[in-house]
Chains A and B, each alone.
Chain A
């Protein structure tokens, strides 16, 4: 009712416009279908993730014996707004700098896990928003060695290679998933820190570099932690992440340390923790006490910023001034104690007159004798003065 009254109070022209506006909104809202526009890429995901291993949502993980055949599948998605023809293929893993996981190219010969994988399809055309399952099998050969072997399932768009008429680098893109197959046997899980150091950057910051080698025969998920401390106090920077270090590879990580405002001496500490139990695996943690590797301490000096230098300069100047004042006060105190002689105040003596006769500022005389405002002198008081005063001020005036 309240709102109806308010509506009635609105001027008729405005009411008409308001009603038409609401009607239009209702009409448009009623007719427009609910839609979600999907803008994204294309690629694949494991078709059969296992609830017992969350890693299988992103990559393929299996423990397979010699001669085993594992049925698997990759689900391809086209989340782009165009129809795409996708190439899906298997490849061997390959060493990449920093020890990161990488895969060989489509045309390269396959000798490892890439050769163990047989895909039912290698080319799939998908409309926008469509997906398709591509089944494949993994067959472990009889001569496979114990430990973990890695390969890849890769997806790229089928399109002619762009020729760059003017020369240069043509870029193509692909995405993929790791295929980690562990063949039972003697499993060795061992990691060792190889290097840990800090290097200065052009911007004055530092990069802390840590490298660890996997000397075992399975990959290790290494919890890498690097902390940077000032000489005193809490950590200035803290990096933590888990990275896989592949069999026979060396994981290398560079952590950027921004230039600290105040500069000074800093040190970095690093440690790596990993599950050393032979029962651990890709995505499988045993819960045992992790093996801990210490990287030691790495000291480095960072020059302060110019603003901090300015602050330091002001503080130093202040300190220098304070020291100078303190030294002067100490000298005066020492002079008063050693050289000033007692004098009995005579009628007519004042602090200013006595100070003038001694040739010192009246404040020094007052301070040297512990006088407080209003600095009144009583005849008979004993003061200390820097010279032996034998006459009263009045007598001295008369003689003058």
Chain B
């Protein structure tokens, strides 16, 4: 009985296989008569993002970075923050779009006249004036004090999902401070011509230090928009 059932199943499977093979052959024959297989691969473009590097490299929707909280002080203080964490990283992709190298830089999205915006008193990010070791107003057109430093010297570079790319010829730049009209952009990474033309990389541990002037008004809403630019050079 069992043997008979097995034989029956076997025949049924062979019949199914035959029917499907016939349909597939007919479909392929029709397809061959009526169309060619075509495929388009769009050229890649440079990409820079903050991604979840721990798993999927999915872009983080509205990336923000919190600075370390400080307290109102009669002395100047420094607040620090770090772009990217153990799970998030700055991600760049060069899919053969910048053959002779590229640069990754950061600047205020509002340009040289941008400020740390607050419902109360704003704060500057690019006033180079100091007095007694503290940032003060005076080096630019606005009447605000404060200065931001970007420190890429401790950047942790890693390759992304590419198979054979490396970090050769990716050069970390020195720490830099914004100064209105003089240093409006700070380079994080410069990739030379010998860097891999087709590759993707993650960068972690980019440190931001904001010098807060003495007696800066307290507020929990100081924010500034920064632009990360990846440029073919």
A and B interact physically? yes
What sequence of 0s and 1s flags, for each residue 204-232 of chain B, a beta carbon within 8 Å of any chain A beta carbon?
A: 00001000000000011111111111111
Most central of B3, B43, B111, B171 by chain A CB within 10 Å: B171
Most central of B27, B46, B105, B224 by chain A CB within 10 Å: B46
What sequence of 0s and 1s flags, for each residue 92-104 of chain A, a beta carbon within 8 Å of any chain B beta carbon?
A: 0011111111111
Question: Which residues of A are in contact with B by a Cβ distance under 8 Å?
Answer: 11-13, 15-17, 19-20, 22-23, 26-27, 30, 34, 36, 38, 40-45, 54-55, 57-59, 77, 79, 94-105, 107-108, 129, 131, 152, 154, 156, 161-178, 207, 209, 221, 224, 239-244, 252-256, 283
Given A95-B185, A169-B223, A177-B231, A242 and B192 contact (CB-CB distance below 8 Å): yes
Residues on A with C-beta less than 8 A from B190 are 98, 100, 243, 253
B229 touches A242 (CB 8 A): no
> In whole angstroms, how far apart are the Cα atoms of A131 and B41 in the complex?
12
B47 touches A175 (CB 8 A): yes
Most central of A44, A104, A168 by chain B CB within 10 Å: A168
Residues on B with C-beta less than 8 A from A165 are 221
B49 close to chain A: CB less than 8 A: yes
Given A23-B13, A242-B100, A254 and B220 contact (CB-CB distance below 8 Å): no
A169 touches B64 (CB 8 A): yes
A20 touches B16 (CB 8 A): yes
B interface secondary structure, majority? mixed
> In whole angstroms, how far apart are the Cα atoms of A391 and B187 in the complex?
95
Residues on B with C-beta less than 8 A from A34 are 37, 39
A103 touches B43 (CB 8 A): no
> In whole angstroms, how far apart are the Cα atoms of A22 and B62 in the complex?
48
A41 touches B231 (CB 8 A): no
B48 touches A175 (CB 8 A): yes
B64 touches A41 (CB 8 A): no
Residues on A with C-beta less than 8 A from B105 are 96, 100, 102
Instruction: Name the one of B6, B44, B48 contacting A12, with C-beta atoms under 8 angstroms.
Output: B6
B66 touches A59 (CB 8 A): no
Known: A26-B20, A169-B83, A172-B228. 12 other contacts (CB 8 A): A16-B12, A17-B13, A20-B13, A44-B45, A59-B100, A79-B42, A96-B103, A100-B103, A171-B63, A173-B50, A240-B194, A241-B193
Given A161-B109, A175-B47, A96 and B187 contact (CB-CB distance below 8 Å): yes
Residues on A with C-beta less than 8 A from B118 are 167
Would you give the shortest CB distance from A112 to chain B, in whole angstroms? 14
Q: How many residues of B contact A (CB 8 A)?
A: 87
Most central of A43, A162, A283 by chain B CB within 10 Å: A43
Residues on A with C-beta less than 8 A from B12 are 16
Residues on B with C-beta less than 8 A from A172 are 109, 225-228
A171 touches B83 (CB 8 A): yes
Those of B72-114 within 8 Å (CB) of chain A: 81, 83, 93, 95, 97-101, 103, 105, 107-112
Residues on B with C-beta less than 8 A from A178 are 231-233
B65 close to chain A: CB less than 8 A: yes
A163 touches B223 (CB 8 A): yes
> In whole angstroms, how far apart are the Cα atoms of A276 and B109 in the complex?
37
A41 touches B111 (CB 8 A): no
B232 touches A42 (CB 8 A): no
Instruction: Name the one of A22, A97, A207, A254 contacting B17, with C-beta atoms under 8 angstroms.
Output: A22
A103 touches B50 (CB 8 A): no
Residues on A with C-beta less than 8 A from B100 are 55, 58-59, 221, 242, 244, 283
B97 touches A45 (CB 8 A): yes
> In whole angstroms, how far apart are the Cα atoms of A283 and B232 in the complex?
13
Tell me the nearest residue of chain B to A243, going by C-beta: B192
Would you give the shortest CB distance from A334 to chain B, in whole angstroms? 61
B71 close to chain A: CB less than 8 A: no
B143 close to chain A: CB less than 8 A: no
A36 touches B81 (CB 8 A): no
What sequence of 0s and 1s flags, for each residue 99-139 of chain B, a beta carbon within 8 Å of any chain A beta carbon?
A: 11101010111111000001000000000000000000000
Tell me the nearest residue of chain A to B4, going by C-beta: A12
Most central of A95, A154, A173, A254 by chain B CB within 10 Å: A173
> Can you list 20 A-B pairs with a CB-CB distance of less than 8 A?
A26-B20, A30-B23, A38-B41, A43-B46, A79-B44, A95-B182, A96-B103, A96-B186, A102-B185, A152-B231, A162-B62, A165-B221, A169-B83, A172-B228, A173-B228, A176-B231, A239-B169, A244-B233, A252-B173, A254-B171
A41 touches B93 (CB 8 A): yes
A168 touches B111 (CB 8 A): no
> In whole angstroms, how far apart are the Cα atoms of A397 and B228 in the complex?
102
A170 touches B64 (CB 8 A): yes
> In whole angstroms, how far apart are the Cα atoms of A101 and B232 in the complex?
8
> In whole angstroms, how far apart are the Cα atoms of A15 and B9 in the complex?
9
Given A102-B105, A241-B192, A40 and B184 contact (CB-CB distance below 8 Å): no
Given A79-B44, A96-B103, A167 and B67 contact (CB-CB distance below 8 Å): yes
B101 touches A242 (CB 8 A): yes
Residues on A with C-beta less than 8 A from B193 are 221, 241-243
Would you give the shortest CB distance from A203 to chain B, in whole angstroms? 10
B47 touches A169 (CB 8 A): no
Residues on A with C-beta less than 8 A from B232 are 58-59, 175-178
Instruction: Name the one of A30, A42, A97, A253 contacting B185, with C-beta atoms under 8 angstroms.
Output: A97
> In whole angstroms, how far apart are the Cα atoms of A141 and B44 in the complex?
34
Given A36-B41, A107-B111, A173-B228, A19 and B13 contact (CB-CB distance below 8 Å): yes
Given A40-B93, A95-B185, A131 and B223 contact (CB-CB distance below 8 Å): no
> In whole angstroms, how far apart are the Cα atoms of A58 and B198 in the complex?
13
B174 close to chain A: CB less than 8 A: yes
> In whole angstroms, how far apart are the Cα atoms of A169 and B3 in the complex?
74
Instruction: Name the one of B6, B65, B171, B192 contacting A168, with C-beta atoms under 8 angstroms.
Output: B65
Tell me the nearest residue of chain B to A75, going by C-beta: B43
